[in-house]
Amino acid sequence: MADIRNIVILTGAGVSAESGLATFRGPDGLWEGHRVEDVCTPEAYRRDPALVHAFYDARREKLGTVQPNGAHKALARLDAEWRGDLLLVTQNVDDLHERAGSRRLLHMHGELTRGWCLACGEKFAWEGPMGEGAVCPDCGAAGHVRPDIVWFGEMPYDMERIDEALQRADLFVSIGTSGAVYPAAGFVQTARYCGAKTLEMNLEPSLGSYFFDESRTGPAGKLVPEWVDELLG
Ligand code: APR
């Protein structure tokens, strides 16, 4: 591991599964109970904001009942102890990485715990239900606050910073993501093309497992602490 200094880690819903949060795809996945085009697009929000708010209000409420698991905690320990560059990019909109203690963290798909006022453009922390009539804490307008979530068809956040980190990475690690959604699913290819070693940890081989030098299959709560122990020695 002596040649590894810059690490980029990508996480997906699988890293929070053992905390009790549903993943998206698969038998009990969120996309089994809801159609993406009903709750996760700007068009859905224009058509039926009450339905979209109900979906995210329920997910925000659920956050209050769950705790970070061993995978979140191991990644927070790595963040605290790794002396080289490290960037944790999560597709998750929950707050379990920060609650575990991760600091070098980007939420590329937004956060359930933040709101965005479409009247004044401000973004802010949000607790509790949002609903259709939410009042902006900044401009005071009612009925224009949406969850600060990146919906299908919208641009993920921080792409320039992520791309720059991928290009400099010596090691790229993907954890608990199916590899079904771009651009995140393509990060492994950028990192690999720019010379990084690539490792995936997932319950099953992901759609992009072909691009990884090494694939470890199993629960993140077991695999991630083992890997962090290996890396920190
Ligand atoms: N440990 C490791 N991996 C797990 C675990 C676990 N305990 N449980 C499930 N997984 C794996 C599944 O096998 C699956 O491959 O996690 C992956 C989760 O995949 P998805 O449900 O597709 O979630 P994700 O990859 O994060 O989805 C990406 O899609 O709908 C959008 O915006 C949403 O950010 C999300 C994006």
Q: Is the CB of 203 under 6 A from ligand 1?
A: yes
Closest ligand 1 atom number to CA of residue 179: 25
pLDDT in tens, 120-161: 999 999 999 999 999 999 999 999 999 999 999 999 999 999
Same structural domain for residues 12 and 43?
A: no
pLDDT of residue 33: 78
Q: How far is the CA of 12 from the centre of ligand 1 (A)?
A: 5
Indicate whether 31 pLDDT > 90. no
Q: What average pLDDT does the segment 18-39 reach?
A: 85
pLDDT confidence of residue 96: 98
CATH code of 168's domain: 3.40.50.1220
Q: Is the pLDDT of residue 34 over 90?
A: no
Our answer on whether the CB atom of 178 is closer than 6 Å to any ligand 1 atom is: yes
Task: State how many domains the chain has.
Answer: 2
Q: Are residues 94 and 169 in the same domain?
A: yes
Q: Are residues 206 and 125 in the same domain?
A: no
Residue 115 has pLDDT above 80, yes or no: yes
- State the pTM of this model: 0.97
Active site residues: 109
Q: What is the pLDDT of residue 1?
A: 60
**DSSP state string for the chain:** -TT---EEEEE-THHHHTTT---SSSTT-HHHHS-HHHHSSHHHHHH-HHHHHHHHHHHHHHHTT----HHHHHHHHHHHH--S-EEEEE---SSHHHHHT--SEEETTEEEEEEEETTT--EEE--S---TTPBPTTT--BS-EEEEE--TTSPPTTHHHHHHHHHH-SEEEEES--S-STTGGGHHHHHHHTT-EEEEEESS--TTGGG-SEEEES-HHHHHHHHHHHHH-
